[in-house]
Amino acid sequence: MKISSFIRFTGFGIKTILLKKKAPIIGTVIVTDRCNLKCKHCSVNNITGIIYPYSKIREDMQTLYDMGVRILFLCGGETFLWRDGEHTLRDLVAEGKQMGFLSVVVFTNGMFPLNLPEADLIMLSLDGDRERHNAIRGNTYDTIMENVKNAAADNICFYMAINRINKDAVEDVCAAARDTKNVRAVSFNFHTPYPDTRELALSREEKAACCDVIKRMMKSGAPVFNLKCAFTYLIDNSFPTPCYQCVVIENGKVSTCGRCVDVPGLCDECGYFYVAEYNMIFRGNPKAVFEMLRTYFKYI
Ligand code: SF4
Ligand code: SF4
């Protein structure tokens, strides 16, 4: 991260903490919900199948920018399926940079060649070792790892949603993040139980056991892109929701935190680590701020 960007984020953070502001800094544009996979834990793929046109996505980006957002996430569905005539995902990243976003992050399932060196970070879903990842995501593990190995840049961060199928593979994913070329770190979430995937939710005890493994792996030097101090709140689901520093926009509709904000009761069972982490950081929790600085400088 550039020093100038860091200074701007710090300024935003100080203002948010001191003035108890609720302005967003991180914004997600949904470019499509079309996806080439049908993962077992997913409730949001191929509902409309629409690939939004370039002009619409540009408009959504501008809306976020005008709201004060400076970190842009591009999400799907599968982002690499996005296309509009000659325009590809690469053009969306370039557009985001040109518009003035300080950081542009792309989320992907990793099934397409990762030729995206302009992205500040590529968040790539890896849900376990080969066996457990494939149990959730179909026979995709080998293709993904091959694409990671051949990626155009070392801007990849693994992203694991821990559920009842893969809860015993946390260590494997930490080790893969540590040992795989082009990968900087891994970031975790617990499964957020949408009504159609409730059976995959972890119990409090299972979450605690996963956090113990993550802590142990962090201690042994595995590159984990999460804040240890948030674990207690994640295990107990005792963090405040939603996260006001994050917004999502899809086809002009803005939601605070995530589109899941509309699912009744879901926020009480939220498994997204970033919600707990950002809420702690932007409420001025000194431990969270310290851990965030250490983690970001190390991996971003
Ligand atoms: S790759 Fe992502 S969007 Fe597609 S089915 Fe899996 S979790 Fe859902
Ligand atoms: S479940 Fe609620 S708190 Fe969690 S990401 Fe979705 S909107 Fe945010």
If one residue of 35, 36, 41, 144 were mutated to test the ligand 1 pocket, choosing by the most ligand atoms within 8 A of its CB, it would be 35
Q: How many Å lie between the centroid of ligand 2 and the Cα of residue 146? A: 33
Q: How far apart, in whole angstroms, are the C-alpha atoms of residue 177 and residue 299?
A: 12
Structure tokens at 290: 């310290």
**Mean pLDDT to the nearest integer, 265-272:** 97
Please say if the pLDDT value at position 91 is more than 90. Answer: yes
- Supply the DSSP symbol for 81: G
Residue with more model confidence, 9 or 287: 287
Q: How many Å lie between the centroid of ligand 2 and the Cα of residue 266? A: 7
Pairing of strands 253-256, 156-162: unpaired
What pLDDT shows up at residue 86?
A: 96
Longest CA–CA separation in the chain, Å? 50
| 180 close to 146: Cβ distance less than 8 angstroms | no
User: Over pLDDT 90: what percentage of the chain?
Assistant: 90
pTM above 0.75, yes or no: yes
**Mean pLDDT to the nearest integer, 172-191:** 98
Is residue 255 left, alpha or beta, with left meaning phi > 0 and alpha meaning psi from -120 to 50? beta
- Supply the DSSP symbol for 162: E
Please say if the pLDDT value at position 300 is more than 80. Answer: no
Is residue 153 left, alpha or beta, with left meaning phi > 0 and alpha meaning psi from -120 to 50? beta
Cis bond upstream, residue 77 (ω within 30): yes
What pLDDT shows up at residue 128?
A: 98
Pairs from 211-218 (Cβ < 8 Å, separation ≥ 24): 211/235, 213/170, 213/171, 213/174, 214/170, 214/174, 214/188, 217/170, 217/171, 217/174, 217/175
If one residue of 33, 43, 44 were mutated to test the ligand 1 pocket, choosing by the most ligand atoms within 8 A of its CB, it would be 44
Please say if the pLDDT value at position 103 is more than 80. Answer: yes
Residue 110 Cβ contacting ligand 1 at under 6 Å:
no
Cis bond upstream, residue 286 (ω within 30): no
Q: How far apart, in whole angstroms, are the C-alpha atoms of residue 111 and residue 160?
A: 16
Which CATH architecture fits 3-299? Answer: Alpha-Beta Barrel (3.20)
Ligand approaching nearest to the C-alpha of 78: 1
**Mean pLDDT to the nearest integer, 204-218:** 98
What pLDDT shows up at residue 15?
A: 83
| Listed range (179-183, 225-229, 273-277, 295-299) with the worst mean pLDDT | 295-299
Q: How far apart, in whole angstroms, are the C-alpha atoms of residue 206 and residue 214?
A: 12
Instruction: Give the number of other Cβ atoms within 10 Å of residue 19's Cβ.
Output: 9
Give pLDDT tens digits for 41-88: 999 999 999 999 999 999 999 999 999 999 999 999 999 999 999 999
Rounded to the nearest integer, the mean pLDDT of the chain is 95
User: Over pLDDT 70: what percentage of the chain?
Assistant: 99
What pLDDT shows up at residue 1?
A: 62
Residue 109 Cβ contacting ligand 1 at under 6 Å:
yes
Give pLDDT tens digits for 3-46: 777 777 888 888 888 888 889 999 999 999 999 999 999 999 99
198 contacts: CB under 8 Å, gap ≥ 6:
none
What pLDDT shows up at residue 6?
A: 76
Identify the helix (H) or strand (E) that includes residue 107.
strand 103-108
| Segments making up each domain of the chain, as ranges | 3-299
Residue 127 Cβ contacting ligand 1 at under 6 Å:
no
Ligand approaching nearest to the C-alpha of 38: 1
Residue with more model confidence, 130 or 14: 130
Ligand approaching nearest to the C-alpha of 161: 1
